Structure 1
Amino acid sequence: METNHLKTNHLGRSTVEVTELGFGGGPLGGLFAPLDDGSAAAALAAAWDAGIRYYDTSPHYGLGQSERRTGAALRRRAPAAFTVSTKVGRLLVPQDPEGRQDPEGFRVPATHRRVWDFSRDGVRRSVEDSLTRTGLDAVDILYLHDAEAHFEDALREGYPALDELRAEGVVRAIGAGMYDTAMLTRLVREADVDAVMLSGRCTLLDHSAYDDLLPACAERNVSLVAASVFNSGLLATPDPSPTATYDYAPATDAQLERAHALARVCAAHDVPLPAAALAFPLLHPSVASVVVGMRTPEEVEANVAYFGTEIPPSLWRSLKDEGLMDTRVPG
């Protein structure tokens, strides 16, 4: 796969390659704040120019807005030059917005309602709808999305549907994107998936992926894609703000104290905290990529610069010595 300078990794036993830094499409859907088409296109162009070749999106993000914008940016590129993933589990059903905004955090008109559906027919319809919205001939990776409250349905019906699509060559890799490590571990052990996308549980502040999920991934040759590595904001700046959020809620005093302790050790090694947060997941050999949501060229440039920061091994040793990093983490 063509890249400027970012390293690529294969997902599990599949032929799919992803750059170690990926573009997360949540903000393209207007997550928490509106985003116009021009700004979204500029962010995607900046990511491409920086060498990012893995783009993740979902119907959920802005009621299809993220998929449309991602497709518009990638349609003019050679398909072999990039990797795109989208997700299934929510069908978008048209409705009259009647002046209402989407109730699930995306600043877009409520032109559709989401209907949970992990059935075979629902999965296949979702893929068809995603291809229509993106205008792409195919997607590379398909994830079961946010299936925590529907896990048995997703495992019993959704996974076989993904497996069927992979066997037909409609997609080249399959998996699930969730925050629940126990459920993802069960999926890795009971199904034949290529990758799992884990939100917020393989970070400097939360090492719970090391309990069961990463060992299972290593055993089964399944790749992990790390998302929400800043834990929604607390690790996103060199000096954590007292008003920062942790997993989309105000950070507690204990979380702030730990983030400041991490920042102090990082600063002593001339490493900005966000640079360490981006590098941390990739210390484990099963982690193939870190996906970061970005909405402006400036955010892209900042994250690419942080990602390119050289991390001295002494930083990881110091974090372990200070009791801030699990001794199970390599490095």
Structure 2
Amino acid sequence: MPASRLAFGGGPLGGLFAPLSDETAAGALDAAWEGGVRYFDTAPHYGIGLSERRIGAFLRTRPAGEFTVSTKVGRLLVPQDPRGREDESFAVPATHRRVWDFSSGGVRRSLEDSLARMGLDRVDVLYLHDAESHFEEALRDGYPALAQLRSEGLVRGIGAGMHDAALLTRLVREADIDVVMLAGRYTLLDQSALDTLLPACAERGVSLWAAAVFNSGVLATPRPTSGATFDYAPAPADVRRRVERIADVCEAHGVTVPQAAMAFPQAHPVVAGIVVGMRSAGEVRHNLASLAATIPPGVWSDLRAEGLLDPRAPLPA
């Protein structure tokens, strides 16, 4: 499957945090393609279908077989009367409500609905999405449904996208999956995936995409801003202090925190690449430039010497 070390995260295209025009969304996707991005990830949750519709409309204009696209299951979208209300998670009219469903029928219906929204006849990878609070159902019913879809040739790869590394480790060890998408647990700030998940992936031959490499924002700027967030909440004082220390090391070597944050996870052999949510052409170009930056080896050795990197973590060459 064609892919790229930087994957386009589709959350912002659903209006995450703020509204996004069709023109701006299309510009972001165009810039990503021009910059060599060939993996596009989305989900029904993102803007209650808006991200899927936008990514699907874009990919229908590109040659089949030249990109990889993934979406997710676990939430069905049920129509409702918005009555002037905005969706609680994304800046879009609340035309639908989300209903958790990891059953076999729910998984198949979710894929059918996603393909209809995207206007595509296939997706390459299908993930169980945010199953932390529904994990037993997702493992018992959702995973076999994904495996059946894979055996039927309706998807090529299956896995899960979550932030809980321990639960993902269970899935890797107890199921026959191809890939996981881990949010925020293998970053410059949090390397807890080294405890069990990354070793399990290595043992089982499962690839990992590192998502939320900026931990929702606190690593996205050269130094933490006044409104910096960590895991989608205001960054605690101890986290901000740690990022300031990381920034001191980076600045001493002439690089930025975002550049280091994008490079670090990719040194681990099971990491296929990183997933970054992008909402404009300018953000895309900035991230591509950060990804291409040369990071002096001294950055990593100094971060490790300062106790800011787990000694078990492989360092970028």
> TM range, normalised to the smaller chain?
over 0.9
- Matches of 2:2 and 2:224 in 1, distance apart? 33
Of the structure 1 ranges 267-276 and 54-63, higher mean CA displacement relative to structure 2 is found in 267-276
User: Do 1:18 and 1:289's aligned partners in 2 also have CA atoms closer than 8 Å?
Assistant: no
CA shift for structure 1 position 17: 4.3
Structure 1 counterpart of 2:49, from 56, 64, 68: 64
CA shift for structure 1 position 316: 0.9
Q: Any gaps of 5 or more consecutive residues in structure 2?
A: none
Partner residue in 1 for 2:295: 311
Partner residue in 1 for 2:24: 39
- Matches of 1:242 and 1:252 in 2, distance apart? 11
- Matches of 1:174 and 1:201 in 2, distance apart? 20
Which amino acid is 1:64 matched to? G
Structure 1 counterpart of 2:115, from 131, 141, 148: 131
Which amino acid is 2:85 matched to? R
Give per-residue Cα distances to partners, 1:226-247, cap 9 Å, x unaligned: 1111011100011221320101
Structure 1 counterpart of 2:220, from 224, 236, 243: 236
- Matches of 2:2 and 2:164 in 1, distance apart? 25
Partner residue in 1 for 2:251: 267
2:233 pairs with 1:249: yes
Give per-residue Cα distances to partners, 1:82-105, cap 9 Å, x unaligned: 0000000000001111111112x2
Which amino acid is 1:251 matched to? A
CA shift for structure 1 position 137: 1.3
CA shift for structure 1 position 55: 0.3
Which amino acid is 2:258 matched to? P
1:21-100 matched pairs, under 5 angstroms: 21-100=6-85
Structure 1 counterpart of 2:100, from 116, 119, 127: 116
Identity of matched residues, %: 66
**Could you state the TM-score of these two structures normalised by the residue count of structure 1?**
0.94
1:18 partner SS? coil
**Could you state the TM-score of these two structures normalised by the residue count of structure 2?**
0.98
1:97 partner SS? coil
- Matches of 1:165 and 1:35 in 2, distance apart? 33
Q: Any gaps of 5 or more consecutive residues in structure 1?
A: 1-15
1:19 partner SS? coil
CA shift for structure 1 position 313: 1.9
Partner residue in 2 for 1:5: none
User: Do 1:239 and 1:273's aligned partners in 2 also have CA atoms closer than 8 Å?
Assistant: yes
Moved over 2 A (4+): none
Partner residue in 2 for 1:142: 126
Number of equivalent positions: 315
Which amino acid is 1:304 matched to? L
User: Do 1:28 and 1:61's aligned partners in 2 also have CA atoms closer than 8 Å?
Assistant: yes
Which amino acid is 1:186 matched to? R
Which amino acid is 2:290 matched to? Y
1:70 partner SS? helix
Partner residue in 2 for 1:211: 195
